Amino acid sequence: MGAQVAGSATKGRQGLSESQLGRALVTPAVLVMCAVVFFPILATFWLSLHEYNLKYPYLGQPFVGLRNYIELLSDSRFLNSVKITTLFTVSSVAVELVLGMAIALLLNRTFKGRGIVRTAVLVPWALTTVVMARMWAWIFNSEYGVFNAILHRFGIIDQYIPWVADTNFALWAAVGADIWKTTPFMALLLLAGLQIIPRELYEASMVDGAGGWKRFWSITVPILKPTILVSLLFRTLDAARVFDLLFVLTGGGPGFATESLSIYTYRSLFVNLDFGYGSALAVATFLYVMLISFIYIKLLGARTER
């Protein structure tokens, strides 16, 4: 009887190997991912190959191939939205990295009231983006905004400036609001990386006579590189898909001065009801974000592994 049980167990193990068991367990999750991620992407791409406008339903959905994508290359509004998205992403993420690192280094120190300071720093990040955008719209108000009042009191400006209604300042006002909100997120990720660095390394370097900057560039930055890569990747992908902040704060205006790729795609799909061209814009946005991910992983990731 015992021999039969042992034989059945051996046969069961031989019938389903460890790798096959692993694939079987992963299959349900893969199917769910295909249903909620890959299928919509493929459906959007297929729709982008058609001319489909709900304003003209009698035209049907004729297949036009890559015509929508060819039109993108000559669409000045699309090229402008790519420029706006890139400027917003690069400028906001760069400043957030510097400020986030400074805040993380400060919070990594031991001082009285550190817990309260950590909690206070996270408050901007805890606010929902829509609420934060409306708050900054009041701050930048051209008639009674706090920002204008402070600059005017210190003699920096002679008259109030319509920050979100001026094509020269609207984008940078949005960048400032984004920096205020998401710098705590960057600081939180970097702080987590700082806390895994052994204190013994700093103590040994101080014995060797290394100063603060020397310790930062020789110890902190090399060990923190993987954390910096992850932080930059998360924030860059989030900034490249910016929609709610710009939509609530400036509405994509004045004109097209703050119209990001996401806002242009939204307007093409749900305002103009051009689902064919809007789908092409959605695919272009997806490729734009994927290109950023590829650059980060290949370039910065390779440097991190060295």
Phi, psi of 63 (to 5 degrees): -75, 125
Q: Which residues are registered as beta bridge partners of 53?
A: 274
How far is CA 2 from each of CA 8, 9, 10, 14, 147, rounded to the nearest angstrom? 10, 11, 12, 18, 83
Q: For the whole model, what pTM was predicted?
A: 0.85
Going 219 to 223 to 229 to 230, the CA torsion angle's sign is: negative
pLDDT at 306: 55
pLDDT digits (tens, 9 = 90+) for 52-68: 888 888 888 899 989 99
What span, in angstroms and rounded, lies between the C-alpha atoms of 181 and 166?
22
CATH code that applies to domain 68-305: 1.10.3720.10
Mean pLDDT, the chain, as a whole number? 86
pLDDT at 301 over 70: no
Q: Name residues whose C-beta falls within 8 Å of residue 231's C-beta, 6 or more positions apart in sequence.
A: 97, 100, 186, 189, 190
What span, in angstroms and rounded, lies between the C-alpha atoms of 246 and 92?
13
Percentage, residues of the chain above pLDDT 90 = 42
Residue spans in the chain of domains classed CATH 1.10.3720.10:
68-305
The 3-state DSSP class for residue 197 equals coil
pLDDT at 257: 92
- Residue whose C-alpha is closest to residue 277's, from 45, 57, 38, 68: 68
Compute the average pLDDT of residues 103-125: 83
Q: For the chain, what is the largest distance between any 2 Cα atoms, rounded to a whole number of angstroms?
A: 97
The 3-state DSSP class for residue 241 equals coil
What span, in angstroms and rounded, lies between the C-alpha atoms of 182 and 260?
18
Compute the average pLDDT of residues 96-110: 89
pLDDT at 130 over 50: yes
pLDDT at 6 over 70: no
What span, in angstroms and rounded, lies between the C-alpha atoms of 133 and 135?
5
